[in-house]
Amino acid sequence: MVYLNFIWHMHQPYYRDNLSGKTKMPWVFLHAIKDYYDMPYMLSLNPNIKATFNLVPSLIEQINHYINGSANDEFLEILSQDAGILNDAQLDVLNSYVFLSNEKNMIHPFWRYKELYIKFKSSQMGIKIFDKNEIEDAQVLFLLSWCGNYLRENNKTVKNLISQGANYTHVQKLELIHELIEFLPNILKLYKQLFSQGQIEISISPYYHPILPLLIDINSAKDAQSNVNLPNIANDSFKEFSEGQVTKAVEFFEQTFNTKPNGFWPSEGAISEETIELAAKHGIAWIATDEEVLYKSIKNHTKEKLYKLYTHEKFQTFLFFRDKHISDLIGFEYSKIAPQIATLDFVDKIKKIQYYGSRDYIVTIILDGENSWEFYPNNAKDFFKELYKTLQDNGSFIQTILPGEAVKLNIEKVSLQSIQAGSWIDANFNIWIGKPQKNRAWELLASTKEDYVKKSASLKQKTDEKILDEFAAALGSDWFWWYDDDHFTTLKPLFDKLFRLHLQNIYTLMEQNIPQIIIHPIVPQNEVVSAKYGAMHQPRDLKSIDSEFRYCKLNKRWVLFAPKRSDRPNNFIKKQVQIEECVCPFDAGNEELTPKEITRIGDTKEWRARVVPNLYNVLSTDITPIGKKDDYFDTFSGFGVHEVIIETPKHNLEMFDYSLEEFTDYLQIAKERIVSLKYDSRLAYSSLFKNHGEVAGASVSHSHSQIIAMPFLPDEVSEEIEHKKEYHRRYKRALLDDLVYEEKQYEQNLIFENESFVCYAPYASRFAYEVKIVAKDKYASITEFDENTLLNLAKSLELIFKKYKNVLDYFSFNMIFKNHPYEGYNENSKDYFRFCINILPRLSGIAGFEIDSKVHLNSILPNIAANRLKEVYKELS
């Protein structure tokens, strides 16, 4: 059985100016009539389907302002006036909002709205080109476009106005606004009803939606990503506000729902050890965050581990981790395809989870419960109708559950000793801190707090409470969300103004002059913004949904990245079944079972590594090197060398677990053989490689490598040498040196580097999680390495294989040492040829397309692989 744990997050920033009593932006109202009722309503039509709704307390407070008449929404006040008497400032506000509806799904279905939109877009005057009647139509149609399906189907006023289509009057507009406000009390009533019936669970976030880990300790940002640039403030500048945000949220929930909250979605899934401790202190039983936080916490990116039930060992808090891929498909991709196809794809992905084993699994799906649906036709009504029906039809292997029920299920439970700080976006806090505008906002908050601390002793209690509330609102995550170039909205200057207004209010309450630095905008006037995302943030690896060809300049071949393929069943084969021999000839004590030893490291009985001729050799030096050519074919005798490096006497020891000394022995004996074979003038080329695991071609499970030396250069090797020589003739630089330079400038694919080597995932990787380790100095072959360079290479291999083990567990791979061929080797070879090691995980097979076209298919982008690899075992770097 696969249990689905849906969590829909409902949230808007705090748009109210508490000093003036005005609501500065209308988004709470607009999403209330479109999403906050429709989402639980669609669920209520399917009583067997369960879901959790995370309601941010400040959102409920703002909905209540509209209900009790204290919202004073500036936009609604403009709408409530006769269009013929609006002044230029009011028209400018209308100009900013009245067509902020999704063009395809909210504007185009209304023929008159679409007509006005085309006129609006074609004129530089904007809405000022409209006459009074056109403005009235635009206002009414804007509100109708934001009405959800329930209102469109059940509210008489809304239905009549939609049928009318155009030529609306001012009186009709006022009637519509009145009807919509009168509807708002139904929202909370429905949540309470479904909550009492047990169909939904309601969880909370901190009151004003701040990033709790940053409030508790600003250094949490560095814990999540070490190279982030922190603002120049004390690490505990806002620690006291973290307690207040949670306390106020819990108290508000209890007042609203007559019970204490059981669950917690920390704002943006932002979590840390201290965050869990704070939540547990308030009796929170479960917390949810993102899968990347889990992977970083356990130092393992194996997908199967996501579907277990976790508890924090110290605080006994249950932890649910969001399936990023499936959640983001609902949030970003399923809107583009027919509901039936989207639903079939969803169910297929749930079925594939069962391929991991015969046990039960839990899949947690968390996403924004409001912003996604405008990208769907009919506000996602058709999608949810099909999805919920399909889930009910497949109840034999899929069931929806609530987090509070999950603890009773027969799901494998795992205890976590600690949690890595991070959020739902890339398991770090970079969206909210680290860039110039974001850091400027944090610094303004800190300087305002310093001024407040100086004045606080003389403030009256009520004034002090109001000031602390302004601080709490200013610490909300949304202001930082819009700063810098991560996200774009035409209303960005207004978000900046709202943030600074909260700080200005603090000085007003303290009866002090407002500092000029707070009056001055953080967002520059006429700022050019190139951000790709708006209110929803599409994670970077979701870009991988589109296929992309990449050209490898090193081997002059194309690679096709098709990340959708990574979702296929059994695409990534983690643990290979090894071939087990009755008696292993490579084990210590079985030396007589191998051909006569060529060399060893260590004593005869206590050897640490050996080299022997391959018993099943493909080449032999006993054969005379003779070639011949007839009228049709070329042939050459099977002359050459085929040797086996037995890397360790321990049968079950794999390279993933080698010590530094074992890697050093391995490289030392490999170097010795490559040097020795170089002196046989009949040999032109030697290939040093390792096949690990059956998929990679290994027929013996005991860890070993091979050397095959040939009397001529294979065509591809010869072409590679000429390619590198030509590049050097043209640019006076080694091709691989330039590629390393480009990767270091690009940064995203770098994994680590030390004194002698740099390790990265190549931009045009042929294989998922492929890495390349390249010499930084002018070395063309391992034969040239001094003792220190060999040691640094051993350290590099030790580090990358420990990273591999923690991200992918044990898996099959090929490892290839790229040394300059013997033929043509001289002192000048170092100018154009650079030693490197290619490690090629064999997580999926090579099929007909690759064989035919020579174009490799890869399902994992290198920046994603690099990011996962560099996050583990940093201490060894």
User: 3-state SS string over 694-731?
Assistant: HHHCCCCCCCEEEEEEECCCCHHHHHHHHHHHHHHHHH
In a domain? residue 230: yes
Residue 6 in tokens: 């849906």
Q: What type of residue is 311?
A: T
Beta strands (DSSP E) in 313-469 are 318-322, 361-368, 398-400, 413-416
pTM of the entire structure? 0.70
- Helix (H/G/I), strand (E/B), else coil: 255: helix
List Cβ neighbours of 35 (8 Å cut-off, separation of 6 or more).
Answer: 10, 148, 369, 370, 373, 379
SS (HEC) of 122-183: HCCCHHHHCCHHHHHHHHHHHHHHCCCHHHHHHCHHHHHHHHHCCCCCHHHHHHHHHHHHHH
Q: Which of 418, 434, 460 is the last residue of a domain?
A: 460
Average pLDDT over residues 63-85: 97
In a domain? residue 237: yes
Are the C-beta atoms of 705 and 645 separated by less than 8 Å? Answer: yes
| CA nearest to 265, candidates 533, 6, 478 | 6
CA dist., res. 772 & res. 274, Å (int): 38
Residue 325 has pLDDT above 80, yes or no: yes
Give 76's Cβ-side CA count (13 Å radius): 22
202 bridge partner residues: 53
List Cβ neighbours of 593 (8 Å cut-off, separation of 6 or more).
Answer: 583, 585
Q: Which of 460, 476, 503 is the last residue of a domain?
A: 460
List Cβ neighbours of 177 (8 Å cut-off, separation of 6 or more).
Answer: 76, 79, 80, 143
Pair type for strands 309-312 and 704-710: unpaired
Residue 60 has pLDDT above 60, yes or no: yes
| CA nearest to 246, candidates 216, 203, 207, 286 | 207
In a domain? residue 530: no
pLDDT digit string, tens, across residues 257-314: 999 999 999 999 999 999 999 999 999 999 999 999 999 999 988 888 999 999 999 9
Q: Give the CATH number for residue 152.
A: 3.20.110.10
DSSP one-letter code for 33: I
Residue 566 has pLDDT above 60, yes or no: no
Q: Which of 430, 460, 490 is the last residue of a domain?
A: 460
Q: How far is CA 792 from the centre of its chain?
A: 32
- Provide the 10 A C-beta neighbour count for residue 855: 13
In a domain? residue 43: yes
In a domain? residue 701: yes
| CA nearest to 159, candidates 174, 176, 142 | 176
CA dist., res. 206 & res. 252, Å (int): 11
Q: What type of residue is 613?
A: P
In a domain? residue 490: no
CA dist., res. 71 & res. 67, Å (int): 8
CA dist., res. 723 & res. 729, Å (int): 10
Give 379's Cβ-side CA count (13 Å radius): 25
Higher per-residue pLDDT: 466 or 541: 466
pLDDT digit string, tens, across residues 363-404: 999 999 999 999 999 999 999 999 999 999 999 899 999 999
pLDDT digit string, tens, across residues 118-166: 999 998 889 999 999 999 999 999 999 999 999 999 999 999 999 999 9
Give 42's Cβ-side CA count (13 Å radius): 24
Residue 689 in tokens: 């490689």
| CA nearest to 498, candidates 516, 482, 474 | 474
CA dist., res. 20 & res. 707, Å (int): 80
CA dist., res. 820 & res. 775, Å (int): 13
Dihedral sign of CA atoms 377, 379, 385, 386 in order: positive
pLDDT band for position 488 (cuts 50, 70, 90):
confident
CA dist., res. 490 & res. 96, Å (int): 8
| CA nearest to 669, candidates 692, 698, 649, 639 | 649
DSSP string, 844-855: S---HHHHHH-P
Q: Give the CATH number for residue 605.
A: 3.30.428.10
List Cβ neighbours of 200 (8 Å cut-off, separation of 6 or more).
Answer: 40, 43, 50, 51, 52, 53, 191, 194, 402
- CA distances to 20, 210, 239, 240, 241 from 471, in Å: 16, 11, 12, 11, 8
Average pLDDT over residues 414-418: 96
- Check residue 532 and give its pLDDT: 54
Higher per-residue pLDDT: 589 or 579: 589
289 bridge partner residues: 321
659 is in which domain, residue-wise?
Answer: 584-876
Q: What type of residue is 777?
A: D
- Helix-helix angle 111-122:132-145, to 10 degrees: 120
Are the C-beta atoms of 408 and 12 separated by less than 8 Å? Answer: no
pLDDT band for position 537 (cuts 50, 70, 90):
low
pLDDT digit string, tens, across residues 830-873: 999 999 999 999 987 777 767 776 677 887 888 888 988 887 65
Identify whether residues 294 and 430 lie together within a single domain.
yes
847 bridge partner residues: none
CA dist., res. 149 & res. 138, Å (int): 20
pLDDT band for position 544 (cuts 50, 70, 90):
very low
Residue 417 in tokens: 């000793």
Q: What is the CA radius of gyration of the chain?
A: 32
Name the helix (H) or strand (E) containing 500: helix 492-509
Average pLDDT over residues 455-483: 96
Q: Which of 62-71, 93-102, 248-257, 857-866 has the lowest mean pLDDT?
A: 857-866
411 bridge partner residues: 360
- Label residue 267 left, alpha or beta by phi (over 0 means left) and psi (-120 to 50 means alpha): beta
In degrees, rounded to 5, the angle at the alpha carbon of residue 347 between the alpha carbons of residues 341 and 351 is: 140
What total number of domains does the chain contain?
Answer: 2
- Provide the 10 A C-beta neighbour count for residue 85: 8
In a domain? residue 467: no
In a domain? residue 540: no
